[in-house]
Amino acid sequence: MLYRFIAGCAALAGLLVAGCAATPPAPVPATLRVNVFPGSSNLPLLTAINKGFFAKRGLTIELQNTPDSSSQRAGLPAGRFEIAIAAVDNAVAMVEMAKNDVIIVTGGDSGMNEFMVRPDINTFADIRGKSLAVDAPNTAYALVAKKILKNKGLLEGRDYSLKLAGGTQGRSAAMVANPDLAASMVNPPFSFTVRERGIKSLGRATDLAGPYQATGAFVMRSWAAQNASALERYIAAYIEGTRYAMDPANRAEMAKLLEDRFKLPPAVAAQSLEALTTPGFGMSTDAGLNREGFRNVLSMRAEMEGQWGGVVPDPAKYLDLSYYDRALRVAGK
Protein backbone atom coordinates (compact mmCIF):
# COMPACT_ATOMS: atom_id res chain seq x y z
CA MET A 1 0.00 0.00 0.00
CA LEU A 2 2.78 2.42 0.95
CA TYR A 3 4.60 1.53 -2.28
CA ARG A 4 1.52 2.30 -4.38
CA PHE A 5 1.06 5.62 -2.54
CA ILE A 6 4.66 6.66 -3.16
CA ALA A 7 4.47 5.57 -6.81
CA GLY A 8 1.25 7.52 -7.27
CA CYS A 9 2.80 10.65 -5.76
CA ALA A 10 5.81 10.27 -8.04
CA ALA A 11 3.60 9.92 -11.10
CA LEU A 12 1.59 12.97 -10.08
CA ALA A 13 4.75 14.98 -9.56
CA GLY A 14 5.96 13.91 -12.97
CA LEU A 15 2.73 15.08 -14.58
CA LEU A 16 2.97 18.42 -12.80
CA VAL A 17 6.57 18.90 -13.92
CA ALA A 18 5.67 17.93 -17.49
CA GLY A 19 2.73 20.33 -17.44
CA CYS A 20 4.91 23.16 -16.24
CA ALA A 21 7.52 22.39 -18.90
CA ALA A 22 4.87 22.39 -21.63
CA THR A 23 3.52 25.83 -20.74
CA PRO A 24 6.36 28.33 -20.37
CA PRO A 25 5.41 31.76 -19.08
CA ALA A 26 4.04 34.13 -21.67
CA PRO A 27 6.49 36.81 -22.79
CA VAL A 28 6.10 40.21 -21.21
CA PRO A 29 4.29 42.43 -23.77
CA ALA A 30 6.32 45.30 -25.16
CA THR A 31 5.88 48.07 -27.71
CA LEU A 32 8.91 48.86 -29.84
CA ARG A 33 9.24 51.97 -31.98
CA VAL A 34 11.23 51.13 -35.11
CA ASN A 35 12.59 53.95 -37.27
CA VAL A 36 13.17 53.19 -40.95
CA PHE A 37 13.72 54.69 -44.38
CA PRO A 38 10.73 53.93 -46.61
CA GLY A 39 11.72 51.36 -49.21
CA SER A 40 11.83 47.72 -50.23
CA SER A 41 14.45 46.87 -47.61
CA ASN A 42 11.62 46.88 -45.08
CA LEU A 43 10.02 43.78 -46.60
CA PRO A 44 11.12 41.41 -43.79
CA LEU A 45 9.82 43.85 -41.18
CA LEU A 46 6.51 44.37 -42.98
CA THR A 47 6.16 40.63 -43.48
CA ALA A 48 6.79 39.90 -39.80
CA ILE A 49 4.13 42.47 -38.85
CA ASN A 50 1.57 41.20 -41.36
CA LYS A 51 2.09 37.52 -40.56
CA GLY A 52 1.87 38.08 -36.81
CA PHE A 53 5.44 37.00 -36.04
CA PHE A 54 5.95 39.93 -33.67
CA ALA A 55 2.50 39.57 -32.09
CA LYS A 56 3.03 35.92 -31.20
CA ARG A 57 6.13 37.01 -29.27
CA GLY A 58 4.24 39.65 -27.34
CA LEU A 59 5.52 42.59 -29.36
CA THR A 60 3.70 45.55 -30.86
CA ILE A 61 5.69 47.39 -33.54
CA GLU A 62 5.22 51.11 -34.18
CA LEU A 63 6.82 52.06 -37.49
CA GLN A 64 8.32 55.50 -38.01
CA ASN A 65 9.63 56.80 -41.33
CA THR A 66 12.66 59.05 -41.24
CA PRO A 67 13.24 61.77 -43.86
CA ASP A 68 17.02 61.54 -43.62
CA SER A 69 19.87 59.92 -41.71
CA SER A 70 20.63 63.02 -39.64
CA SER A 71 17.15 62.89 -38.11
CA GLN A 72 17.52 59.19 -37.41
CA ARG A 73 20.97 59.52 -35.85
CA ALA A 74 19.70 62.29 -33.57
CA GLY A 75 16.47 60.49 -32.69
CA LEU A 76 17.94 57.23 -31.41
CA PRO A 77 20.03 58.61 -28.51
CA ALA A 78 17.24 61.10 -27.75
CA GLY A 79 14.90 58.17 -27.05
CA ARG A 80 12.40 58.97 -29.80
CA PHE A 81 12.48 55.30 -30.82
CA GLU A 82 14.19 52.11 -29.68
CA ILE A 83 15.44 50.51 -32.91
CA ALA A 84 16.90 52.12 -36.02
CA ILE A 85 17.05 50.29 -39.33
CA ALA A 86 19.33 51.83 -41.94
CA ALA A 87 22.75 51.44 -43.50
CA VAL A 88 24.89 50.42 -40.53
CA ASP A 89 27.62 52.93 -41.41
CA ASN A 90 25.28 55.38 -39.71
CA ALA A 91 25.87 53.50 -36.46
CA VAL A 92 29.62 53.73 -37.01
CA ALA A 93 29.25 57.48 -37.57
CA MET A 94 27.24 57.80 -34.36
CA VAL A 95 30.00 56.09 -32.40
CA GLU A 96 32.88 58.00 -33.98
CA MET A 97 31.40 61.43 -34.62
CA ALA A 98 28.74 61.85 -31.92
CA LYS A 99 30.32 59.51 -29.34
CA ASN A 100 27.02 57.64 -28.90
CA ASP A 101 27.27 54.16 -27.39
CA VAL A 102 25.48 52.38 -30.23
CA ILE A 103 25.70 48.71 -31.22
CA ILE A 104 24.77 46.95 -34.45
CA VAL A 105 22.66 43.88 -33.65
CA THR A 106 21.65 42.44 -37.05
CA GLY A 107 22.46 42.57 -40.72
CA GLY A 108 19.83 42.74 -43.43
CA ASP A 109 20.91 43.42 -47.01
CA SER A 110 23.53 45.03 -49.25
CA GLY A 111 21.42 48.13 -49.88
CA MET A 112 20.61 47.05 -53.46
CA ASN A 113 21.93 50.39 -54.67
CA GLU A 114 22.63 51.34 -58.24
CA PHE A 115 24.65 54.34 -59.38
CA MET A 116 21.85 56.23 -61.12
CA VAL A 117 22.34 59.18 -63.46
CA ARG A 118 20.26 61.64 -65.46
CA PRO A 119 19.50 60.99 -69.15
CA ASP A 120 22.33 63.22 -70.42
CA ILE A 121 25.00 61.30 -68.46
CA ASN A 122 26.43 58.37 -70.41
CA THR A 123 29.76 57.75 -68.64
CA PHE A 124 31.24 58.55 -65.24
CA ALA A 125 33.40 61.19 -66.92
CA ASP A 126 30.21 63.08 -67.85
CA ILE A 127 29.65 63.80 -64.13
CA ARG A 128 32.66 66.14 -64.07
CA GLY A 129 31.54 69.66 -63.16
CA LYS A 130 28.12 68.49 -61.90
CA SER A 131 26.54 67.55 -58.57
CA LEU A 132 26.05 64.27 -56.72
CA ALA A 133 22.84 64.04 -54.67
CA VAL A 134 23.40 62.57 -51.19
CA ASP A 135 21.65 62.17 -47.86
CA ALA A 136 24.47 63.04 -45.43
CA PRO A 137 27.84 63.89 -46.99
CA ASN A 138 29.99 61.69 -44.77
CA THR A 139 28.08 58.45 -44.17
CA ALA A 140 26.84 55.29 -45.83
CA TYR A 141 25.76 55.57 -49.46
CA ALA A 142 27.46 58.94 -49.98
CA LEU A 143 30.76 57.26 -49.12
CA VAL A 144 29.97 54.41 -51.53
CA ALA A 145 29.24 56.91 -54.31
CA LYS A 146 32.41 58.88 -53.59
CA LYS A 147 34.45 55.67 -53.58
CA ILE A 148 32.98 54.64 -56.95
CA LEU A 149 33.75 58.05 -58.41
CA LYS A 150 37.27 58.00 -56.98
CA ASN A 151 37.83 54.64 -58.65
CA LYS A 152 36.79 56.35 -61.89
CA GLY A 153 39.25 59.22 -61.36
CA LEU A 154 36.80 61.79 -60.00
CA LEU A 155 37.28 63.55 -56.65
CA GLU A 156 34.79 65.53 -54.59
CA GLY A 157 35.48 69.26 -54.66
CA ARG A 158 37.78 69.01 -57.65
CA ASP A 159 35.54 67.26 -60.18
CA TYR A 160 32.05 67.38 -58.69
CA SER A 161 30.12 68.83 -55.74
CA LEU A 162 27.66 67.35 -53.23
CA LYS A 163 24.05 68.41 -52.77
CA LEU A 164 21.96 67.28 -49.79
CA ALA A 165 18.67 65.78 -50.95
CA GLY A 166 17.49 63.47 -48.13
CA GLY A 167 16.82 59.74 -48.16
CA THR A 168 16.54 57.59 -51.26
CA GLN A 169 12.95 58.58 -51.96
CA GLY A 170 13.84 62.27 -51.75
CA ARG A 171 17.05 61.91 -53.74
CA SER A 172 15.41 60.05 -56.58
CA ALA A 173 12.63 62.66 -56.80
CA ALA A 174 15.18 65.47 -56.69
CA MET A 175 17.18 63.92 -59.54
CA VAL A 176 14.08 63.79 -61.71
CA ALA A 177 13.15 67.41 -60.93
CA ASN A 178 16.57 69.08 -60.88
CA PRO A 179 18.85 68.88 -63.96
CA ASP A 180 21.77 70.04 -61.79
CA LEU A 181 21.72 66.75 -59.84
CA ALA A 182 23.59 64.48 -62.21
CA ALA A 183 23.83 61.31 -60.12
CA SER A 184 22.95 59.53 -56.89
CA MET A 185 22.83 56.13 -55.22
CA VAL A 186 19.27 54.79 -55.55
CA ASN A 187 17.70 51.50 -54.42
CA PRO A 188 14.34 49.72 -54.92
CA PRO A 189 11.62 50.49 -55.55
CA PHE A 190 12.83 53.96 -56.53
CA SER A 191 15.64 52.62 -58.72
CA PHE A 192 12.91 51.20 -60.94
CA THR A 193 10.29 53.95 -60.76
CA VAL A 194 12.78 56.65 -61.81
CA ARG A 195 13.60 54.76 -64.98
CA GLU A 196 10.19 55.80 -66.26
CA ARG A 197 11.48 59.40 -66.08
CA GLY A 198 14.65 58.73 -68.03
CA ILE A 199 17.00 58.11 -65.08
CA LYS A 200 19.37 55.22 -65.82
CA SER A 201 21.96 53.05 -64.11
CA LEU A 202 25.72 52.97 -64.62
CA GLY A 203 25.98 49.81 -62.53
CA ARG A 204 25.23 48.13 -59.23
CA ALA A 205 27.13 49.33 -56.19
CA THR A 206 28.27 45.85 -55.22
CA ASP A 207 29.80 45.42 -58.70
CA LEU A 208 31.44 48.85 -58.66
CA ALA A 209 32.67 48.99 -55.05
CA GLY A 210 32.60 45.43 -53.72
CA PRO A 211 30.51 43.68 -51.05
CA TYR A 212 28.72 46.00 -48.67
CA GLN A 213 26.83 45.59 -45.42
CA ALA A 214 24.06 48.14 -45.73
CA THR A 215 20.71 47.68 -43.98
CA GLY A 216 20.89 46.48 -40.40
CA ALA A 217 19.42 47.19 -36.99
CA PHE A 218 21.23 49.25 -34.37
CA VAL A 219 20.29 50.30 -30.84
CA MET A 220 21.71 52.05 -27.82
CA ARG A 221 23.87 49.62 -25.84
CA SER A 222 22.27 50.58 -22.51
CA TRP A 223 18.76 50.02 -23.89
CA ALA A 224 19.74 46.58 -25.20
CA ALA A 225 21.14 45.53 -21.83
CA GLN A 226 17.96 46.61 -20.04
CA ASN A 227 15.59 45.11 -22.64
CA ALA A 228 17.40 41.98 -23.78
CA SER A 229 14.28 39.79 -23.88
CA ALA A 230 12.31 42.24 -26.02
CA LEU A 231 15.26 42.78 -28.36
CA GLU A 232 15.87 39.06 -28.81
CA ARG A 233 12.17 38.45 -29.48
CA TYR A 234 12.22 41.29 -32.00
CA ILE A 235 15.22 39.80 -33.82
CA ALA A 236 13.70 36.30 -33.80
CA ALA A 237 10.50 37.64 -35.41
CA TYR A 238 12.56 39.64 -37.92
CA ILE A 239 14.47 36.47 -38.85
CA GLU A 240 11.16 34.69 -39.40
CA GLY A 241 10.01 37.59 -41.57
CA THR A 242 13.19 37.36 -43.64
CA ARG A 243 12.76 33.62 -44.15
CA TYR A 244 9.16 34.03 -45.22
CA ALA A 245 9.99 36.89 -47.59
CA MET A 246 12.84 34.93 -49.20
CA ASP A 247 10.85 31.71 -49.67
CA PRO A 248 10.17 31.23 -53.41
CA ALA A 249 6.77 29.79 -52.51
CA ASN A 250 5.73 33.23 -51.24
CA ARG A 251 6.86 35.35 -54.18
CA ALA A 252 3.39 36.32 -55.39
CA GLU A 253 2.34 37.29 -51.85
CA MET A 254 5.51 39.32 -51.30
CA ALA A 255 5.20 41.13 -54.63
CA LYS A 256 1.62 42.06 -53.73
CA LEU A 257 2.76 43.33 -50.33
CA LEU A 258 5.31 45.64 -51.99
CA GLU A 259 2.75 46.71 -54.57
CA ASP A 260 0.17 47.64 -51.95
CA ARG A 261 2.55 49.17 -49.42
CA PHE A 262 4.36 51.48 -51.85
CA LYS A 263 1.56 51.94 -54.40
CA LEU A 264 3.68 50.35 -57.12
CA PRO A 265 2.77 49.07 -60.55
CA PRO A 266 2.89 45.24 -60.52
CA ALA A 267 5.94 45.20 -62.80
CA VAL A 268 7.93 47.49 -60.47
CA ALA A 269 6.93 45.42 -57.43
CA ALA A 270 8.15 42.28 -59.21
CA GLN A 271 11.45 43.95 -60.17
CA SER A 272 11.96 45.15 -56.60
CA LEU A 273 11.34 41.66 -55.24
CA GLU A 274 13.78 40.24 -57.77
CA ALA A 275 16.47 42.60 -56.48
CA LEU A 276 15.62 41.74 -52.87
CA THR A 277 16.02 38.02 -53.50
CA THR A 278 19.20 38.19 -55.62
CA PRO A 279 22.04 36.46 -53.70
CA GLY A 280 24.81 38.85 -52.69
CA PHE A 281 22.76 41.89 -53.73
CA GLY A 282 19.51 41.57 -51.81
CA MET A 283 18.51 40.19 -48.43
CA SER A 284 20.99 38.13 -46.44
CA THR A 285 19.99 34.73 -45.12
CA ASP A 286 18.35 35.05 -41.68
CA ALA A 287 19.22 38.78 -41.64
CA GLY A 288 22.82 37.84 -40.88
CA LEU A 289 25.63 40.38 -40.88
CA ASN A 290 27.90 40.28 -43.94
CA ARG A 291 31.28 40.48 -42.21
CA GLU A 292 33.24 41.02 -45.43
CA GLY A 293 30.76 43.72 -46.39
CA PHE A 294 31.10 45.37 -42.99
CA ARG A 295 34.87 45.44 -43.28
CA ASN A 296 34.36 47.20 -46.61
CA VAL A 297 32.10 49.73 -44.86
CA LEU A 298 34.92 50.53 -42.44
CA SER A 299 37.50 50.52 -45.23
CA MET A 300 35.52 53.09 -47.23
CA ARG A 301 35.18 55.33 -44.18
CA ALA A 302 38.92 55.08 -43.50
CA GLU A 303 39.78 55.87 -47.11
CA MET A 304 37.18 58.48 -47.99
CA GLU A 305 36.97 60.30 -44.63
CA GLY A 306 40.46 59.63 -43.29
CA GLN A 307 38.87 58.11 -40.19
CA TRP A 308 41.24 56.33 -37.77
CA GLY A 309 44.23 57.70 -39.65
CA GLY A 310 43.23 55.54 -42.60
CA VAL A 311 43.66 52.29 -40.64
CA VAL A 312 40.58 50.07 -40.42
CA PRO A 313 39.63 49.36 -36.78
CA ASP A 314 38.45 46.08 -35.26
CA PRO A 315 34.82 45.61 -36.41
CA ALA A 316 33.95 44.20 -32.97
CA LYS A 317 33.95 47.75 -31.60
CA TYR A 318 30.62 48.40 -33.29
CA LEU A 319 28.96 44.99 -33.02
CA ASP A 320 27.14 42.99 -30.39
CA LEU A 321 25.72 39.95 -32.13
CA SER A 322 25.07 38.03 -28.91
CA TYR A 323 21.42 39.13 -29.06
CA TYR A 324 21.21 37.90 -32.65
CA ASP A 325 22.83 34.56 -31.78
CA ARG A 326 20.32 33.91 -29.00
CA ALA A 327 17.43 35.02 -31.22
CA LEU A 328 18.59 32.69 -33.98
CA ARG A 329 18.45 29.75 -31.58
CA VAL A 330 14.93 30.78 -30.59
CA ALA A 331 13.84 31.09 -34.23
CA GLY A 332 15.33 27.67 -34.99
CA LYS A 333 17.12 26.55 -38.09
Whether residue 161 has pLDDT greater than 50: yes
Considering only CA atoms, which of 212, 215, 221 is closest in space to residue 318? 221
Q: Per residue in 245-301, pLDDT tens?
A: 999 999 999 999 999 999 999 999 999 999 999 999 999 999 999 999 999 999 999
Reported as type and span, the H/E element at residue 240 is helix 228-246
Whether residue 7 has pLDDT greater than 50: no
Mean per-residue pLDDT, 201-210: 96
pLDDT at 15: 39
Whether residue 155 has pLDDT greater than 80: yes
Whether residue 83 has pLDDT greater than 80: yes
- List domains and CATH numbers for the chain: 30-110+213-331 (3.40.190.10), 114-209 (3.40.190.10)
How crowded is residue 314: how many other Cβ atoms within 10 Å of its Cβ?
A: 8
Task: Report the interhelical angle of 291-305 vs 89-97 (nearest 10°).
Answer: 50
pLDDT band at 162 (very low <50, low <70, confident <90, very high): very high
pLDDT at 2: 40
Query: Does residue 172 contact residue 199 with C-beta atoms inside 8 Å?
Result: yes
Mean per-residue pLDDT, 192-213: 95
pLDDT at 139: 85
Whether residue 218 has pLDDT greater than 70: yes
Summary mean pLDDT of the chain = 92
**pTM of this structure:** 0.89
Q: Which of 26-30, 77-81, 147-151, 159-163 has the lowest mean pLDDT?
A: 26-30
pLDDT band at 24 (very low <50, low <70, confident <90, very high): low
| Radius of gyration of the chain, Cα coordinates, nearest whole angstrom | 23
pLDDT band at 23 (very low <50, low <70, confident <90, very high): low
Q: Per residue in 127-143, pLDDT tens?
A: 999 999 999 888 899 99
pLDDT band at 332 (very low <50, low <70, confident <90, very high): confident
Query: Does residue 151 contact residue 53 with C-beta atoms inside 8 Å?
Result: no
